[in-house]
Each structure stands twice: as structure tokens, then as C-alpha cells.
Amino acid sequence: MKRWIGVGLALLLGAAVVAAIVVGNRGGGTETREPTVVRGVIGSEKKPFFDDQRVRAVFTRHGLRVEVDTAGSRQIVDSVDLKKYGFAFPSSAPAAEKIKRDQGATRTFAPFSSPMAIATFEPIVGVLTKAGVVRDSGQGYQVLDVRKYLDLVGKGTRWDKLPGNTAYPARKRVLLTTTDIRASNSAAMYLAIAGYVANGDDVVTSNAQVSKVAETVAPLFLDQGYSETSTEAPFEDYLSLGIGKTPMVMVYEAQYASRLFAGDGSIRPDMRLLYPSPTVLSKHTLVPFSAQGTEVGRLLEEDPELGRLAALYGFRTAHARAFDDLVAKAKAPLPTDLIDVVEPPDHDRLEGMITVIERLYRSGAAPSPTP
């Protein structure tokens, strides 16, 4: 009896050893570590990129799980509690520099950029070409002359009063649709463009220029009426509601380009993209507050797979070939290089102009722009 008990115990022990070996081999003898969570606050236009499972997989391979909240760039600077986050990723360099200064950060990363552009329609392009406002660049894309556009707006010109306009005789003013200047970076970049031209083709650099220029260009924003706070909202109106609701909207090139590259049919044959002349580059700049936030910035700048994925979402990166290849494949009328690009004012001057316009919003009055 004892002999059979001994044999049984030996068999059980052997089975346990075999099971341990199998489990050990399956696990490779190493522990699987959960990725470190790092939270960031970003501009809404970058949310689809961070939500992409391929992007998440790259971060996971580097031991990170990146979770993001969205806010307007001005909100990120002024009202978001940044203590909750490992990084902030606004849509402009001036906002990032202010955050860096206020938070005592030591560096920034600028992995993405996107020139400001105008999403519109073929009939609008035709009408504005006749009016001398739009012209061909000679480089495969079309530009809108901001000086001539401001002249039209300064005269209170309506679409139905443009000579020879039978394509879009709408009884409303010629105005670009933007987001709310009080909340959104894309509107602030439009302000930088218009302000540059209104300031005699020069960057606003003094407090005296701030008030004068802001009052000159304020009607570009106030005369629109209600404006959305998110850059995605007016672009979605453009895509879904068409020319009647949104004949021209200020966008990031990336918004339009990503839809073209996706080939999902949302960019219809009558849709066009114009580039303001001059334009500005919206430099999406990450400010890290932790070691993990720094690693996110480094990966976004250096990892070629993240660069390729960013290009799919229409962003220009240091990996320029990825964007250029997509442009060629889609036969998209997008420039590989833009020449007429100017710098926005620094944060304090840009904020000063926004504050002047904000005050005019509250007063319910705005001066007429001067040509």
C-alpha cells in the first residue's frame, strides 16, 4: 500500500514540474509590465491621431499609454489645470512658449506643423478669381490675396454685388468663417495673418500696433455672428452642409489633407483648398511636464512610424517624404513647399489683440475695417 502511495506522489510531483516548465516557457520567464499612463491636454484637431490604434501601439511598444483631453489653445494657456497632465500640446508656438514660461518647463518639441488654409468650393474660387482676389500660384495650387480680400471686406461687399457673379449670388457679406477668436487657435492664426497685412505687411510687435490693428480687423470676427469654439465644427459644416452654410472656412491644411489622403469621399469634386497669401504655419508644439511627457515629445519628433501616421492625418513632420508621397499618390493640389509664410506675433501681442476684440464683443460694437 505504501509503495502505491509513493508511486502516486511521485507522479503528482512530476506532473507539477512539467506544468511549471510549460508555464515558465509560455511566460518566457519574465513579467509583463503594464505601460505607464501619461495624460496630456491637446488641441481637438489632433484627437483622431492620438485615438488611432496604430499610434497607441507605437506608444505601447515604448512602455507608454497616452491618454488625452482636448481644449482650445487659449484655454490650455489660461484656464486648464495643467497639474493633472504630463504634457500640453497646443496648436501654436506662441501658446506653447507661454505655457513653457508659466510652468517652468525646460524644453519643447514641435513634431507637427500645418499651414493655415481656406476650404471652399469651385464656384467661390471662380467668383473671387474674377474679382482679382484669387490667383494661381504657378506651382499647382491657388492662393487668396489677403490684402485684396481685406479691401472687399472693408467695403462691406456682399456676394450678390460682386460684378458678374451668377454662380453664388448670396445676399450676405463676403466673409471667411472661423472659430471663436476668444477660444480657438485657428482663429488666432487668422488674426495673425490679417494683422500682418493690416500692419503694413509686418509682424505686430508693439502695444501701439496691438490696439490699432485689432480694431481694424475686428469686423472679420464680429460680423460673423455666432462662432464655434472647436476647429472641427465649422469644417464638419463645410463637409456636410455645403456652400450655402459655409462658402469659405479657415482650416488647418491637415484637416483637408487627411480627408483627401483617406479617399473616403468626403472631399467632393467641387471642393477646393486655397492658401492665404501670406499664410502662417501653425506649429503644434508639445510642452512636457514630466519624464513621460518628455518621452512622448521625443517619440513624436523622432519615431518614423509616428511620423508616417501623422502624415496620414495631414500633418507635416520632419519626415517630409511621408507627406510628399501621400500628396503624389492622391494627386492632391497641395504644395510641398510654401514660400509666402510669415511669423505670428509673440504670445503677449497676439493675446493683446484678442483681448481688444473680446472687449468689442462685450460692448456689441466694432469699428469698420479700413482698406
pLDDT at 365 over 90: no
CA-based nearest residue to 316, from 279, 270, 287, 269: 279
User: Hey, what long-range contacts does 27-36 have (CB within 8 A, 24 or more apart)?
Assistant: 33/63, 34/65, 35/59, 35/60, 35/63, 35/64, 35/65, 36/63, 36/64, 36/65, 36/292
Segment 183-212 shows an average pLDDT of 95
- Which residues in 206-238 are b (16+ Cβ under 10 Å) and which e? eeebbebbbbbbbbbbbebeebbbbbbbbbbeb
pLDDT of residue 354: 95
182 has a pLDDT exceeding 90 = no
Range list of β-strands (E), the chain: 36-42, 64-70, 87-89, 109-121, 134-136, 142-145, 249-252, 271-277, 279-288, 341-342
Phi, psi of 369 (to 5 degrees): -70, 150
Under 8 Å between Cβ of 87 and 38? yes
Question: What's the pLDDT band for 88 if we cut at 50, 70, 90?
Answer: very high
pLDDT at residue 45 tops 90: no
pLDDT, tens only, 333-360: 899 888 899 999 999 999 999 999 999 9
* The predicted structure's pLDDT at residue 362: 87
Q: Which helix H or strand E contains 296, and what residues bound it?
A: helix 291-302
pLDDT class for 32, splitting at 50, 70, 90? low
pLDDT surpassing 90 at residue 183: no
Average pLDDT for 196-205: 97
pLDDT tier, 16 (very low <50, low <70, confident <90, very high otherwise): very low
With a cut of 80, say whether residue 9 has pLDDT above it.
no
Strand 279-288 relative to strand 87-89: parallel, antiparallel, unpaired?
antiparallel
Strands (DSSP E) found in 191-262: 249-252
CA distance 62 to 306: 12
Minimum mean pLDDT among 107-121, 195-209, 215-229, 242-256: which range? 215-229
User: What DSSP assignment string belongs to 29-96?
Assistant: TSPPPPPEEEEEEE-GGGHHHHH-HHHHHHHHHTTEEEEEEE--HHHHHHTS-GGG-SEEE-SSHHHH
Separation of alpha carbons 68 and 78, rounded Å = 18
Q: What is the mean pLDDT of the chain?
A: 89
Q: Is the Cβ–Cβ distance between 325 and 70 less than 8 Å?
A: no
Which of 3 and 264 is assigned the larger pLDDT?
264
C-alpha cell at 28: 518566457
| Nearest CA-CA partner of 87 in 79, 74, 96 | 96
pLDDT confidence band for 26 (50 / 70 / 90)? very low
What does the DSSP 8-state code read for residue 177? B
d(CA 210, CA 57): 45
Query: Are the CB atoms for 323 and 135 separated by under 8 Å?
Result: no
Closest listed residue to residue 168, CA positions, set 135, 137, 131 = 131
Confidence of residue 366 (pLDDT cuts 50, 70, 90): very low
Rounded CA-CA distance 321/311 in Å is 9
Q: Which residues are 275's β-sheet partners? A: 143
Residue 25 has pLDDT above 60, yes or no: no
pLDDT per position as a tens digit, 253-296:
999 999 999 999 999 999 999 999 999 999 999 999 999 999 99
* Domains of the chain from N-terminus onward: 36-113+283-330 (3.40.190.10), 115-281+339-363 (3.40.190.10)
